[in-house]
Amino acid sequence: MLTETSLEAFFHLAETNSFQEAARRMGVSNASLTRYIQQAEEQAGMVLFHRGRNNCRLTRAGQEFLPLARKLEQDLGLFSRQLELLRSGEGRQLRVGCGPLVPRALIQPVLREVMKAHPNLRFQLDVSARIAPLERMQAGEIDMFIGDLTHTPEADNVEIMMIAKRPVMFVARPEHPIHAQGVVTLKQVFSYPFASPHLHKHWRATLIKALGGDAEAEAIVKALPQVESDDYHFLAHLAAEDGFVVGAVAETFEEMRALGRLKEVLTRAPITWNICAVRKTEDVTEAQEAFWQALKAYEVNPAAA
């Protein structure tokens, strides 16, 4: 089997067509590079390069060998990463990115179930409405994302699971004047000071459509929110103490509603929270698989959605 060093020498020489330049890039002598190329050819069992006086080039066999070598390089890299995860124990750690609506409504019950079955696993939760999930996964910053993925383009090597849809609840403190109006429209909701997490393009498009899709609707949504924060603990207290209207799922306001500090705003045609989970299909660790399988209890059947 080819070694990583002989593979590196092969790639540099195939790219530069120069023993001197390839050796310089590797930081080795010409003699050492020659030895690595000889090892590659011996291990491959074929002549990979035509040698000239001043340069060299791939043989036909070398050209056909190149994509196989690239695949071997990827496999060796995967092996090294998995081995390092095994040595460090990081394979038992899961880094989850999510939007602000998710932690109480979905992450907490799933996490509780997974930790009962796998008490040795460790979890890190990164909450933000602004993150670009696929880019962050490709960069290795997170292992999985759970949130609104309606605006996410298709990508290779990822698995996407649709999670149960939920209505968005609006709340305000009990003495807020909005409650005196009975069942209200979204336009009436947004006529009061409104606070929310970051409203990305999909959420804004959803609200514009729900408000009628005209120029007036666009103007209303463009002005939202008056206060923006991805911290729902802060937003809930802002509603209870400073008179803002805030929207989320029911679990977010559970305690403050039970204490009488917040009251649901009754609305016509409530908007729906569409949530998905996404993970890469490569390098799946123990923690990722355990969490993903627990999420499947919340999966929506696309035919029934």
Distance of alpha carbon 110 from alpha carbon 293, whole angstroms: 10
Asked whether the beta carbons of 9 and 40 are under 8 A apart, the reply is yes
Asked whether the beta carbons of 49 and 62 are under 8 A apart, the reply is yes
* pLDDT value at residue 36: 92
Asked whether the beta carbons of 273 and 165 are under 8 A apart, the reply is yes
List % helix, strand, coil for the chain (3-state, nearest 5).
50, 20, 30
Structure tokens at 303: 């035919």
What is this structure's pTM? 0.63
Task: Report the SS3 class of residue 289.
Answer: helix
Q: CB within 8 A of 52, min separation 6: which ones?
A: none
- Per DSSP bridges, beta strands 56-58 and 49-51 are antiparallel
Asked whether the beta carbons of 146 and 102 are under 8 A apart, the reply is yes
* pLDDT value at residue 305: 45
Whole-number Cα distances in Å, 213 to 151, 196, 246: 18, 21, 22
Distance of alpha carbon 77 from alpha carbon 136, whole angstroms: 20
Q: Which domains does the chain have, with CATH numbers?
A: 4-88 (1.10.10.10), 90-164+274-298 (3.40.190.10), 169-270 (3.40.190.10)
- Which segments in the chain show pLDDT lower than 70? 1, 78-92, 131, 149-156, 301-305
AA letter at 14 = A
Asked whether the beta carbons of 146 and 292 are under 8 A apart, the reply is no
Asked whether the beta carbons of 293 and 121 are under 8 A apart, the reply is no
* pLDDT value at residue 130: 74
* pLDDT value at residue 155: 62
* pLDDT value at residue 99: 84
Cα-Cα end-to-end distance for the chain: 50
* pLDDT value at residue 188: 94
Q: 3-42: per-residue pLDDT in tens?
A: 888 889 999 999 999 999 999 999 999 999 999 999 999 9
